[in-house]
Amino acid sequence: MGFLRSLRSRISRREEGNILIEFALALPVLLLLLGGMLDLGRYALQKSAILEGARQGAQYGVLVYSGASTASSTDSANVNATAQNASALSGVTATNSLFCECVAGTAVACTTTCSSGTLKRYVTVNTSKAFSSVVTSSTLSFGAFGSWTPPTSMSASITMIVP
């Protein structure tokens, strides 16, 4: 009886395997967090790239459209190509538009003259791209805590005044 009692007390004091068990339980959660952080980083880098593409396209549009009352299809295609190339990503789509307003804020056609001041012209460049999440492609449900749906696309828009 004394032998069993001393054996049981020696086994119950040993804790070498506990760390391995705790690590095995925590590993899936840590991997999910790591995957989510990497996915968020990818999204942020790509969003920044398409924003830079829209900015570069709008700056080129300011140069192309200054002095022009309408946008030609060639100029519009060049602005879009500049935005797509400046993003340095594949699968980026870009659109641009030229619009005008009077000083009072009333939208008018770019070929008209304003009776109450100067005509202001603007160029807007929109870029967009599809995004595929590494973590999951469907909605994750956390029960009573809510749910999370990963983004499937991203877009950016820049508007600049044309002098």
Phi, psi of 14 (to 5 degrees): -80, 130
Residue scoring higher pLDDT (96 or 113):
96
Whether the CB-CB separation of 156 and 47 falls below 8 Å is answered with: yes
Residue whose structure tokens are 């008209």: 112
Domain residue ranges of the chain, discontinuous segments joined by +: 14-162
CB atoms within 10 A of CB 64: 21
Tokens of 43: 């999204």
pLDDT in tens, 50-94: 999 999 999 999 999 887 666 677 889 999 999 999 999 999 999
pLDDT in tens, 102-118: 887 788 888 888 887 78
Residue whose structure tokens are 């959660």: 29
CB atoms within 10 A of CB 157: 14
